[in-house]
Amino acid sequence: MEKKILIVNVNWVGDVLFSTPFIRAVREAYPKSHIACLLHPRCLEVLEGSPRINELIIYDEEGAHKGLIGKLKLIASLRRKNFDVAFILHRSFTKALIARLAGIKERIGYPTKNRAILLTKTVEEPIDEPHKVEYFLNVARRTGITPRDRSYEFFIRDSDESYIKDLLKSYGVADKDLLIVLCPGGNWDMKRWPAANFARLADILAERFGAKIAIAGAKKDMGLAETIEGMMKAAPIIMCGKTSLKELGALLKRADLAIANDTGPMHIAVAMKTRVIALFGPTSPAITGPYGSGKYRVIYKDTGCEIPCYDVTCRDNRCMQAITVEDVFQTASNMLMQNDNRQIPS
């Protein structure tokens, strides 16, 4: 049966990637239906180009839809689209209220923030917090959808790959060169492995494997990248602020290995099927770690703290400090020696 389906998505790059197995499951269940996704503008690129989605609708909570008038305009626009079903992945009361006022007859989601009255089908909250992918897939299961694949999806264009190829060439990186991408950023400091560790690791990888080292991130990560560069003997390629999200995906696809904190770029690398080492400290790999099929390893040390931990006043950050350069290098060595695509110097 054809339906008009609205997926009310979440607000962060990593979380939207976690939602892509859910989106795929809905598309497989309703192959001929019109599927739209409502999401924050900063996450638009995550879903652009997805063959699972017919329409992307921006909900700009800090801009055009910030006030009451803006929200009423959005509600009116959604009402005109005549959606039959809304899957509400976001936990907020406001998102559920918007779906209700937009006249969407079937509204499915978790009864968080006292919003059960706004939903027509509620999803029971799990006793133990599952991985975010499973948390979203539970919403699909509530309507009888059985997911077949739990892997992320992130779609890039040929033009994104061409841009990265040309950019790397301008820095002297050839197609045959071993490329390792570091993603040292994080949306809060406690999630970041020390800059000095990234610098020392990069130098060892450059020396032992002849690797070209790129440091990736947003423009705001430029200072961090320059700090790491200043500690290194080798000359890294700083890509911070030089790529869109899609181009970052192309860079990570080109990489032979990505080493990253718990960040959106780490999950993009997993989606691109790149070899990934994910460094975890205050966040839980069981909840926000890499998931589904892929070539990834998680490094996490139990230091006796309660995880996840959101103590931004923590002074020693011992959970990240506990991960040594030797730990990461050994894991990187093992993964690189399994590389089938490029000649690795012995």
- Residue 341 pLDDT level (bands cut at 50, 70, 90): low
Domains 4-141 and 158-336 share a fold: yes
Going from the C-alpha of 244 to that of each of 90, 164, 295, the distances in angstroms are: 25, 11, 24
Fold of 158-336: Rossmann fold (3.40.50)
Cβ atoms 173, 237 nearer than 8 A: yes
pLDDT tens-digit profile of 202-234?
999 999 999 999 999 999 999 999 999 999 999
Tokens of 334: 């093992």
Q: Between the CA of residue 243 and those of 63, 143, 200, 215, 218, what are the distances in Å?
A: 24, 39, 25, 12, 8
Q: What is residue 183's predicted lDDT score, i.e. its pLDDT?
A: 97
CA–CA separation, 252 vs 48, rounded Å?
17
pLDDT of residue 56: 97
| Mean pLDDT of the residues in the chain | 92
pLDDT of residue 346: 43
As a whole number of angstroms, the distance between CA 166 and CA 249 comes to: 15
**pLDDT higher than threshold 70 for residue 190:** yes
Say what the pLDDT of residue 173 is.
96
Q: Domain 4-141 carries which CATH code? A: 3.40.50.2000
**Burial (CB count within 10 angstroms: exposed 0-12, middle 13-18, buried 19+), residue 141:** middle
pLDDT above 90 covers a percentage of the chain that reads 80
**DSSP per residue, 199-261:** HHHHHHHHHHH--EEEE---GGGHHHHHHHHHH-SS--EE-TTS--HHHHHHHHHH-SEEEEE
The pLDDT of residue 196: 96
Residue 339: predicted pLDDT: 61
pLDDT for res 333: 95
Average pLDDT rounded to a whole number, residues 194-209: 96
Q: Is pLDDT above 50 for 241?
A: yes
pLDDT tens readout for residues 106-136: 999 999 999 999 999 999 999 889 999 999 9
**pLDDT 10s digits, 260-305:** 999 999 999 999 999 999 999 899 999 999 999 989 999 999 887 7
Parse the chain into domains and list their residue ranges. Answer: 4-141, 158-336
Q: Tell me the pLDDT tens digit for each residue of 138-178.
A: 999 999 999 999 999 999 999 999 999 999 999 999 999 99
**Do 291 and 152 touch, CB atoms closer than 8 A?**
yes
Structural contact between residues 40 and 32, judged by C-beta atoms closer than 8 angstroms: no
Distance between CA atoms of residues 160 and 45, nearest Å? 12
Phi–psi pair at 237, nearest 5 degrees: -100, 115
